[in-house]
Amino acid sequence: MNVSVGTIFSIYKRVTPIGSNSTIEDFLQPGRNQVAAGYVIYGSSTILVYTTGNGVHGFTLDPTIGSYFLSHPDMKIPIKGKIYSVNERNYPFFSQGVKDYLRHIKQIEEESSRPYTGRFIGSLVSDIHRYILKCGIYM
């Protein structure tokens, strides 16, 4: 379907001594030990988004020179959005509260900021990337 896909990653400091074989303790660490995290989205363009705990930055691959350039400095999720993403095929299995909420955000009211527009790719990185740039609800 030519949908964007991606890779998520988390980086930790090695806990075993350098020169020794790595062990399971190098990989199964608590989140508070994380030193960087991010994702790469592959589609019509390739974008690396990462953080080291001081802001989130996006870099787009320029294939003509084989290098990334800073295309999205200091990314922040907007305060308000009008998009929601949920696999509505599972609607019959949702709790009544979730069903009511989905009906509520789709309902058109002239004095409201509704309705939301449904957008569901089904690729975690693609869906999350949209919400980092545009805001919205991801379920």
- Give the residue from 115, 129, 98 showing the smallest Cα distance to 6: 129
Residue-level pLDDT at 96: 97
The distance from CA 71 to its chain's CA centroid, rounded to whole angstroms, is 17
Report how far residue 13's alpha carbon sits from residue 57's, in angstroms, rounded to the nearest whole number: 21
Number of neighbouring beta carbons within 10 Å of residue 134: 13
Whether residue 68 is found in the same domain as residue 89 = no
pLDDT digits (tens, 9 = 90+) for 19-66: 999 999 999 999 999 999 999 999 889 999 999 999 999 999 999 999
Is it the case that residue 80 has pLDDT exceeding 70? yes
Give the domain CATH number at 51. 3.30.540.10
* Range of the structural domain that residue 29 is part of: 5-72
**CB distance 50 to 57 below 8 Å:** yes
Q: What is the mean pLDDT of the chain?
A: 90
77 in any annotated domain: no
